[in-house]
Amino acid sequence: MEGLCLAGLLALQDPPRVEVPVAVFKCQSAGIKVVMVTGDFPKTAAAIAKQVNIISTSDPNIKDQWEIQKKYGITELEAMSHPECNAVVVSGDKIFDMIKEEDEAGMDEKDKGKRLLGWLKKPYCVCARTTPAQKLIIVEACQKLGQIVAVTGDGVNDSPAMKTANIGIAMGIAGTDVAKDAADMILLDDNFASIVNGIEEGRLIFDNLKKSIA
């Protein structure tokens, strides 16, 4: 192609809601771990996670796999398992490769997914470019770690993970009918901060019940 002239560039931004960073910080303060599972590319997902406090930017000791990889000159996979790496961005293809390796090695069912469990144990975890099947694997892995898992989503691709989670939370406005049917709770305002407010009220009721019984 010849003789073309650049007329301009167009960029689109979908910024997170202003109240989300505070809501995520509240979760972390209350002992609730927030894991981001998204279809975005890893570097994009990491940037958004840092914007909303899912990966802390206030602590200089927080290192992701790319920083560890650069520091020690090791592979990205080795960096993700490094003890100094406390923030990981797991892409769906890594989960797929891990499952393929385990199947080819003929590993027992009880031993499968140990690498994924190690990633999920990190203080900060983001899962990027995930398929519906991989979202389901992530939820089951969190439950294997003894965690009570709540999954939020709005599409058909989120439904298997929401159904398997201890509680599925569908978006009331943007959510599809399939997602709402799979969910245990519907978020009427599509706002993550409302989930945190709900947990706060639930814990208050629980405390009051304990006081009345005592």
Would you say residue 184 has pLDDT above 90?
Answer: yes
d(CA 178, CA 168): 12
Would you say residue 45 has pLDDT above 80?
Answer: yes
pLDDT at position 113 is: 84
92 contacts 134 by C-beta, under 8 angstroms: yes
Range scoring the smallest mean pLDDT among 4-13, 77-86, 98-107, 178-187? 98-107
**pLDDT bucket at 15, cuts 50 / 70 / 90:** confident
pLDDT at position 14 is: 82
Would you say residue 114 has pLDDT above 90?
Answer: no
The mean pLDDT of 125-146, rounded to a whole number, is 95
The mean pLDDT of 76-104, rounded to a whole number, is 91
pLDDT at position 78 is: 93
Which segments of the chain are extended strands (E)?
36-37, 87-91, 124-128, 150-153, 167-171, 185-187
d(CA 72, CA 95): 24
- State pLDDT tens for residues 50-68: 999 999 988 889 999 999 9
> Which residue would you say has higher pLDDT here, 206 or 106?
206
d(CA 131, CA 149): 18
d(CA 87, CA 34): 12
pLDDT at position 190 is: 92
CA angle 165-170-173, nearest 5°?
Answer: 175
pLDDT at position 99 is: 84
pLDDT at position 157 is: 92
Beta-carbon neighbour count of residue 213 at 10 Å?
A: 6
φ/ψ region of 58 (left if φ > 0, alpha if ψ in -120 to 50, else beta) reads alpha
The mean pLDDT of 171-191, rounded to a whole number, is 94
Q: pTM here? A: 0.86
22 contacts 193 by C-beta, under 8 angstroms: yes
Render the burial of 128-166: b for 16+ CB within 10 Å, e for the rest: bbbeeebbbbbbebbeeeeeebbbbbbeebbbbbbbbbe
